[in-house]
A and B are shown apart, each in its own frame.
Chain A
Amino acid sequence: MKRTSPTVTEANQKLTFSRRALLLSGAQVGIGALLAARMGWISVVENERYSLLAESNRINLTLIPPRRGWIVDRIGRPLALNRTAFRVDIIPDRLQDEDRVLSELQRLMRIEADDMERIRAEIKKAPGFQPVQVADNLDWETFAAVSIRQAELPGVAPAQSFARYYPEGAGVGHLLGYVGAASAKAYEESKDPLLITPGFKVGKEGLEKTIDKPLRGRPGAKRTEVTARGKLVRELATKTDSPGDTVKLTIDAGLQAFAARRLGNESGSVVVIDCQDGGILAMVSMPSFDPNSFSDGIGRLEWQMLRDDDHLPLLNKTVKGLYPPGSTVKPMAAVALLAHGVDPDETVYCGGGYKLGNRFFRCLGHHGSINMRHAIMKSCNTYFYSMGRRIGYDLIAPVARELGLGAEFDLPLASQSYGTVPDGAWKQRKFKKEWSQSDTLNSTIGQGYVLTSPLQLAVMAARIASGRKLEPSLIASQKKPAPKLPYPPEHLAIVREGMDLVVNGAGTAVRSRLPLDNVKMGGKTGTAQVRAIKGGQRGQSGAWKYRDHGLFVCFAPVENPRFACAVVIEHGLGGARAAAPVAKDVFTYLYEPEKAMETLRALEAGWGGDVLTRTTKQRNAYMAANDPKIRAQMEAAMAAAADAAANAQADANGSSANNASTNTAGGRE
């Protein structure tokens, strides 16, 4: 055996032991110190961080959705408010005998099978303390039925919440839009837990959507202590919500509602602008939808009905509808003519039209020698063909833009269509073609390529009326300064005189004079072709969708304009016939509401009731035609009614009275 190290004796073995034992002792103390230091680090240096984590473990926050801010009109009348609503939630933690409770709920609340699927899935997924919504916006009977059985339904929590309510219904549908539960995508993006809190709604359309932020408010929170398994231990302090801000609009609620009703069964728009500050007093597009029914969640069939309607109730026509403005742009053209040196007293001879090369451009009449004021009054095409051609459309287009055509306004609207104010450059860009003289003639009388929205027409009227470059606004506090238009006041006065004559002289809208003693309206009618004139057919007859649009722009009082308005009636045949009477009543309402209401009531009687009655009737008819279940119900109801009538007859004839309750056979003859 090879020995490389010296013999180990017992003595030096003991020494080795002592040394090594000392080393281990030292290691023990060292490790003890390390442990103490580590603990000190966690509990002192990182104490704050871990305390927070412990608290966030322990405390669970259940958000209380904030009450949404009201939307009120210019004098504080509510356009959108919150109504107490009844809802039923389930708190999974407190649920006992889930199957029994759920089937009892299903029976009480008549919940659909696929809704039950959703509820079951959510209960499984949700942490135990987080309420799962069973149903919202319940009627009082259902809510009461669940509430009185609460003791036998552990885990079921009937609760009151708030639902959005729009007193004006369909009249504010397009303007205000509606609210609904936030989309899954919105939650994915922001991860804001408020978005998935039951009962919380966000704006989905219209102003509700565009001014959603100030309306939202800040949620309250219920603090609860929960165990690791989500079991509720006790409830701690609750922080109440702070409701959203009230937003005041420039809208006049009464006027808005009146205009909506006044449009009747027509597909059209009314926009009224305050000539002092550009505030929009009314902005109505009809037919519309009832935002209240959207807030409850709209049915598939009702949606289908709205979508299929050729009157386009889902389109806000005031900003998204584009129409050839027709003769309503003639006052604007007159401003351009005056600005480029045309003498207002110079006359043009109208022999029924204007000859350009070998093409003849028609006028609606034979006006003879006619000056500017009278050309506006009579809506003489020949005058504007002739004068427009003299200065050229490239000089008219800038004036059109200056007066608001083709513009997109700074308004809290989801989108606006800005239409077209054509000129040479535009045509070159769009069609790669030279601007022609006939383009000038067509554009000058608001046909051809020109497309405008009702809002733009109202702004144009307001700017001509006020002489200021008014910017339309919807939010009351956001009034913008309006500089003067770069045209001499006397030019605008001449144009307004022409518009005065349209209504109060011998013009195209004399039948729409205001029925008021001391307020006169100035205006301009327009009739816009929907398709090219063929074989003398002027769009005055035939299928509805090929009829001419009727337009009217106006202001009042004529001497010192205070209000401006634009009315567009789709396929209304003519401006004087369809649009001007609406404008007349709208202005009448502004000065003498009672008189206007009287007119309206008479009209509505002829149409078959107010808006709600008519839309309900229309909806029922649609449902009956399209939903077999409802059709069967309606038929049964009708049979029962017939039956009852037959029984009543029998009673009257002195037959046995108990027939009424026992006889179930329908259609006795």
Chain B
Amino acid sequence: MSSMIPAPLAQLPWRLLMLVAALGGFGTIILFSAASGSFQPWAASHAIRFSIFLVMALIMSRMQEDFWKAVAYPGFIATLLLLIGVEVVGGISGGSQRWLDLGIIRLQPSELMKLAIILALARFYDQLPSGEIRRWSALWPAGVAIALPAALVMLQPDLGTALMITAGGLTIMFLAGLPLRLFLGGAGALAVIAPLSYFFLLHDYQRKRVTTFLDPESDPLGAGYHITQSKIAIGSGGIFGKGYLNGTQSHLDYLPEGHTDFVFATMAEEWGLLGGLFIIGCFVLIARWGMNVSARAKTRFGRLTAAGLTMTIFFYVTINLLMVMGLAPVVGIPLPMVSHGGTAMLTVMLCFGILMSIERSNRHRTSL
């Protein structure tokens, strides 16, 4: 690092920050277009929120890794209580309320749970003596820790989030070194359970999303409409797009949720394949950075947490992009840092904060 730059600045993970800023900035530009060339109602709030959360993440990066270790269990339990809380409040108010209103954002405990499950399980396997890893005692507490929140979130009902919590938890279990046969067996069991849960567990509207995903043209004006219009937006953009502010699918309201879950389609219509490759590339690079942080982590907790958080971010992106391109059912997962909406951005920024904190700890320990 050049000595021209003060040490605290030079020590910042600039590669990550550039990538994140590029995505957040691009998101603002896209949302400006989604509102037909206006900062209101989305682009301005997106930029402001992004800046606030980025500062928050940088502050978090100053924390010691041990701090996260310390808050892992209390945080998980608190989040779990919040989840139960919304469920009770929702039950009382008669609706399916999923959030707590915190003023600037509406906090969804289920979003925080994506994070809390990673930290809690990383902490659990960090504590677990290495010899215990193949025992029953390595399995059941993690299983309960995943199943409880996932079940609560399914009750809301929010299939996408429940899947992400489960996937995040399983990632930690996988990386912690649980026997491979468990995962292979689990995959086998899933192949059996999936069709059953389709018939007995899913709500009607979720079931419809799955059938529509398998055959979007079966219901082009109903549930298949989202996927069909999204594919039209992406497909009609071509390689270079129709030009900024020239998208018709988004501006003429053919594309539903063009500023939230389907923001990628809004982008692709105007920026084409190149814009899409840019976003995908940014996320792949972010994931590589995160996995690098994990690989270089000195503690087992750091390793597991970094990899788990990276995977959580990657799950967001993967599920969202598979959905908008018609490869996954519509599950309501936004594209982090690009979609309008604070919750996903908050979760991802918290991830970045913790990742940067671990990265900083790595460097400090080596340099000491």
Contact = CB atoms under 8 A, between A and B. Distances in A.
Interface of A: 1, 5, 7-10, 13-14, 16-18, 20-21, 24-25, 28-29, 31-32, 35-36, 38-40, 42-44, 46-47, 49-51, 53-55, 57-58, 225-229, 233
A39 B327 CA distance: 11
A49 B252 CA distance: 19
Interface of B: 130-131, 133-135, 171, 174-177, 179, 229, 231-239, 248-249, 252-254, 268-269, 272-273, 276-277, 280-281, 283-284, 287-288, 291, 294-295, 300, 303-304, 307, 311, 314, 318, 321-322, 325-327
B130 A21 contact: no
26 contacts: A7-B131, A8-B134, A13-B130, A17-B177, A20-B174, A20-B177, A21-B303, A24-B307, A28-B291, A35-B325, A36-B276, A39-B325, A42-B231, A43-B235, A46-B235, A47-B238, A47-B239, A50-B235, A51-B238, A53-B236, A55-B236, A57-B229, A57-B252, A58-B254, A228-B252, A228-B253
B287 A28 contact: yes
A58 to B, nearest CB: 4
Contacts of B171: 24
Contact of B283 (A5, A32, A47): A32
Nearest to B228: A53
**Which 3 pairs show the lowest CB-CB distances between chains A and B?**
A50-B235, A54-B236, A32-B284
Contacts of A226: 252
A43 B314 contact: no
B93 to A, nearest CB: 31
A36 B229 CA distance: 19
A189 B176 CA distance: 67
Contact of B284 (A29, A229, A233): A29
B322 to A, nearest CB: 7
A8 B133 contact: yes
A36 B277 contact: yes
Given A28-B287, A32-B281, 20 more contacts: A10-B130, A13-B133, A28-B314, A31-B314, A31-B318, A35-B322, A36-B276, A39-B280, A42-B325, A43-B268, A43-B273, A44-B238, A47-B236, A50-B232, A51-B238, A54-B235, A54-B236, A57-B254, A225-B248, A225-B252
A374 B280 CA distance: 107
Contacts, number: 141
A53 B225 CA distance: 13
Contacts of B238: 43-44, 47, 51
B177 A51 contact: no
A48 to B, nearest CB: 9
Majority DSSP secondary structure for residues of A touching B: helix
B325 A28 contact: no
A58 B233 CA distance: 12
Contacts of B307: 21, 24
Please indicate which of the listed interface residues A10, A42, A51, A57 has the most CB atoms of chain B within 10 Å of its own CB. A42
Nearest to B306: A21
A657 B185 CA distance: 113
Please indicate which of the listed interface residues A8, A9, A29, A49 has the most CB atoms of chain B within 10 Å of its own CB. A8
Contacts of A36: 276-277, 280
A14 B249 CA distance: 50
Contacts of A35: 280, 318, 321-322, 325
B234 A50 contact: yes
Please indicate which of the listed interface residues A32, A47, A53 has the most CB atoms of chain B within 10 Å of its own CB. A32
A39 B130 CA distance: 43
Contacts of B273: 39-40, 43-44
Given A24-B311, A35-B321, A57 B248 contact: yes
A50 B231 contact: yes
Please indicate which of the listed interface residues A29, A54, A57 has the most CB atoms of chain B within 10 Å of its own CB. A54
B65 to A, nearest CB: 17
Contacts of B268: 39, 43
A352 B283 CA distance: 116
Nearest to B241: A43
A29 B281 CA distance: 10
B327 A38 contact: yes
B234 A43 contact: yes
Contacts of B229: 57
Contact of B276 (A5, A29, A43): A43
B4 to A, nearest CB: 34
Contacts of A57: 229, 232, 248-249, 252, 254
Nearest to A39: B276
Given A8-B134, A32-B283, A233 B177 contact: no
